[in-house]
């Protein structure tokens, strides 16, 4: 079996994964979570930060770092817009994509 045939299978797998995502999207949208104040404030700071540097050619690792930083900023936006402070925590409904990004970063 040639090396490229596996990528044909992987593309087919991605199509099935996307179809599963389409089905799940209507079932699971947002999840209510609690975050400590320090983490929530750091996320909001990431959202408020101005990134003025142009992005040139990136390695895969650099792209993934920038992508994770963007996910943190989206969480910061959610905290800013709909977070409810409860003492030293904030309760906020996060999109499941944001939750997945945070869980993936924790690995």
In the chain, where do the E strands start and end? 30-36, 84-86, 89-95
Give the model's confidence band at 2: pLDDT under 50 very low, under 70 low, under 90 confident, else very high.
Answer: low
The pLDDT score that the predictor gives to residue 25 is: 84
Q: Determine the length of the chain.
A: 107
Secondary structure (DSSP) of 16-37: HHHHHHHHHHTT--EEEEEEEH
User: In this predicted model, what pLDDT tens digit does every residue of 23-76 receive, in sequence order?
Assistant: 988 888 899 999 999 999 999 999 999 988 888 899 999 999 999 999 999 999
Measuring CA to CA, which residue among 95, 107, 89 is closest to residue 36? 89
The pLDDT score that the predictor gives to residue 106 is: 93
């Amino acid at each position: 079996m040639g090396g490229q045939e596996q990528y044909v299978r992987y593309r087919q797998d991605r199509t099935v994964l996307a179809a599963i995502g389409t089905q799940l999207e209507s079932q699971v949208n947002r999840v209510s979570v609690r975050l400590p104040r320090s983490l929530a404030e750091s996320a909001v700071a990431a959202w408020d930060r101005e990134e003025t540097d142009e992005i040139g050619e990136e390695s895969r690792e650099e792209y993934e770092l920038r992508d994770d930083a963007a996910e943190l900023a989206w969480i910061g936006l959610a905290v800013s817009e709909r977070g409810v402070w409860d003492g030293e925590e904030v309760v906020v409904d996060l999109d499941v994509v944001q939750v997945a990004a945070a869980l993936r970063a924790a690995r």
